Amino acid sequence: MKNRAIINVADTALLSEFSRELVELGYEILCANNNISVLQENGVECTAITDDAPVGGDIGVKVEVMRSDIFAAILADRSDAEHISTIISSGIEPIDIVVTNFEDVKRLLTDEAADISNIFSDVDINRSSLIKAGISNCDDVCVVVDPSDYEKVLDEIKRCGEVSKETRFMFASKALSYLCNRDSMISAYLESRIGGVTYPDMLNISCCKISNLKAGENTHQIAAVYKKQGETAGNLCDMQKLQGSKLSFEGYNNADLALECVCSFDECAVAVANNGCLCGVGIGEEIHEACSNAFRSSASYLNGSIVVFNRNVDRKCALEIIKYPFSGVIATGYGADTEDVLSQKEGLNLFIIENMKSKGEELKGVNGGVLILKNKDINLTSTEFQCITERQPDESERKDLYFAWKLVKNIRGKGVVLAKAGQTTGIGGGQPSQISSFEIALKNAGNKSEGSVVAVDETVTLPEFFGLMKEKSVTAIVHPGFDDISKETVEFCNKNGIISENSVLNSADNGHCADANCEGGGDEAFHKAAVSRGGCFFLQINAQSLHFAVKVAELPNDGADDHGNDHGQGVDAGNGSAVNI
């Protein structure tokens, strides 16, 4: 009985060479109409499927290879004598190799002009069926979906007379992943067409491996990096290596953190990350200014760090880069006048990501599942911060508050960011309390804390926090607010004189999901508040109704705090009136 292979592919790379060698090895080639011309033009002997038997039903190409004789030839169990007898008596010979693959569905899904019918095209229905049939009988049939595997198929046939069972199983697994990959991307596309669903009932995540990594976070771990299918260009997994070696597991972690930071800014921005921590960030009107700010703010942590630029690296930046032992530099590009500078640095790994973008959502593995977090950018500008304290933040403070607030979302575990003059002065996080994180940030800042502002990722209610602000001359704070600022916060600010010296400004999303089906509802609001001497003023802005309400709380003269210290004025935040504007 002659060995046979059926071919129906979209990717014709290496197809003619592969088919010709199969013929030389004694295989008969059955070929779908869409591949006939390619093989015949290259002198490969083949049989058109439609010439093999008549097509039943007048519905055209949709049934070109969806015929019982074709599937019987693939699905017949070679170890079952009855199967073999049945197909032979029907004039059907077994098919040993199924060669098929699809159009690039990613290209179709990202083509705005593409019709949805193109995604479920005739030939793709045929190919899906062929793949599933081949997988169902991988004990006897080899399914090949990747042209890079042609050589292995030919090599095994030459050496062993057939493709080994181990290879058939391996290729079946690969084909099934290939099929699931495509279906997952189409599913995600259809969900996006529906709209209004933040978290679908079924989460289909499809990824393909980029490479194995030398180790995980620690040397006793193993790791690999995968690219999420369907992603458009501009992400970490699409970066181009310009010089040096590929990133390590820790390098990817650091690059991801720094990339998210610089993507938060329209201004020129540079971020430095090391050991999974943000070390420093700088912004500026020019990229070399942002570079200088970032390097100054993280001078103690540059060894082995990843640095990311959201602009092209110019010569001034290049001259700064080679002063430090970075493990990697990522930018949107490199000026022609930087090549002679950067090539001098031995072991410097350079990468390019054009059109950098934020990842938008984050998945974290947990025991038995995943957590998913969708990033929501508040898109505030420095001029939109509202403060009605007696001492208004000056223009530089407003800019620094905006800058710090954009960064603190990237700090895990009670995140705190100190900033001044377009650069971070101290960063703290990964702690069980705000005070611990603030103390770390202050320690990192040293005397640079004086005149800095601070951003915190949770509402600050601890009196000790404001005490440290006063002690270290931190002039303003931005932190998330909910329906009200706590009574304790206002009391402590007044009793300790913080309000006479500091502006306390609050602005944030209330943290509710915009999906009406999500627990917590769809109420999305920004709350901004401030404290001033002689009264407590809260300005609340609801992003949906644009209803403005100012709450004014009178300050009773209670004279003393819980420790008996007389500070004159206290506050009862619960006794106030609301004025609609």
pLDDT band for position 104 (cuts 50, 70, 90):
confident
pLDDT of residue 384: 53
Q: Is 259 a residue whose pLDDT tops 90? A: yes
Half-sphere exposure of 132 (CA within 13 A, CB side): 9
CA distances from 468 to 96, 111, 357, 414, 424 (A): 76, 55, 37, 16, 18
Find which of 252-261, 368-377, 405-414, 503-512 is predicted with most confidence, using mean pLDDT: 252-261
pLDDT in tens, 326-335: 999 999 999 9
CA distance 459 to 89: 79
Greater model confidence, 516 or 66 = 66
pLDDT band for position 166 (cuts 50, 70, 90):
very high
pLDDT in tens, 453-500: 999 888 777 778 888 988 998 988 888 764 445 666 666 655 554 432
pLDDT of residue 323: 92
CA distances from 385 to 32, 67, 342, 506 (A): 65, 68, 41, 8
pLDDT in tens, 3-44: 999 999 999 999 999 999 999 999 999 998 889 999 999 999
Give the pairing of strands 268-274 and 306-309.
Answer: antiparallel
Q: Is 338 a residue whose pLDDT tops 80? A: yes
- What is the SS3 assignment for 48? strand
**Helices 165-194 and 150-160, axial angle in degrees (round to 10):** 160
486-511 as b/e: b if 16+ CB within 10 A: ebebbbbbbbbebbeebbbbbbbbbe
pLDDT band for position 187 (cuts 50, 70, 90):
confident
Helix (H) or strand (E) holding 58: none
Residue pair 307/282 in contact (Cβ under 8 Å)? The answer is no
254-285 as b/e: b if 16+ CB within 10 A: bbbbbbbbbbbbebbbbbbbbeebbbbbbbbe
Position 101, amino acid: N
Half-sphere exposure of 428 (CA within 13 A, CB side): 24
Least confident of 109-123, 182-196, 562-576: 562-576
CA distance 137 to 84: 14
**Structure tokens, 163:** 């493709």
Q: Is 534 a residue whose pLDDT tops 80? A: no
Q: Cα dihedral angle (391, 420, 460, 370), rounded to 10 degrees?
A: 150
Identify the residue whose tokens are 């015949």.
40
Nearest to residue 424, comparing CAs of 415, 435, 432, 433? 415
Average pLDDT taken over every residue of the chain: 78
Greater model confidence, 397 or 525 = 397
pLDDT of residue 424: 97
pLDDT in tens, 307-326: 999 999 999 999 999 999 89
Q: Is 398 a residue whose pLDDT tops 70? A: yes
Least confident of 84-88, 160-164, 165-169: 84-88
pLDDT of residue 306: 96
The average pLDDT across 445-460 equals 90
pLDDT band for position 242 (cuts 50, 70, 90):
very high
**Structure tokens, 478:** 């931005």
Position 257, amino acid: L
Least confident of 250-259, 446-455, 478-487: 478-487
According to DSSP, residue 306 is labeled E
pLDDT of residue 50: 62
- Alpha-helix runs per DSSP H in 54-210: 68-75, 81-89, 105-110, 116-119, 122-136, 150-160, 165-194
What DSSP string runs through 427-469?
EE-SSSSHHHHHHHHHHHHGGGGTT-EEEESS----HHHHHHH
Position 118, amino acid: N
pLDDT of residue 531: 31
Q: In the chain, pLDDT over 90 holds for what percent of residues?
A: 48
- What is the SS3 assignment for 130? helix
The average pLDDT across 249-261 equals 95
- What is the SS3 assignment for 371? strand
Residue pair 569/534 in contact (Cβ under 8 Å)? The answer is yes
pLDDT band for position 61 (cuts 50, 70, 90):
very low
Residue pair 308/283 in contact (Cβ under 8 Å)? The answer is no
546 Cβ contact list (under 8 Å, min separation 6): none
Greater model confidence, 427 or 476 = 427
Which residues partner with 507 through β-bridges?
528
CA distance 330 to 305: 11
CA distance 284 to 270: 9
CA distance 203 to 233: 22
CA distance 444 to 438: 10
Least confident of 259-273, 409-423, 511-525: 511-525
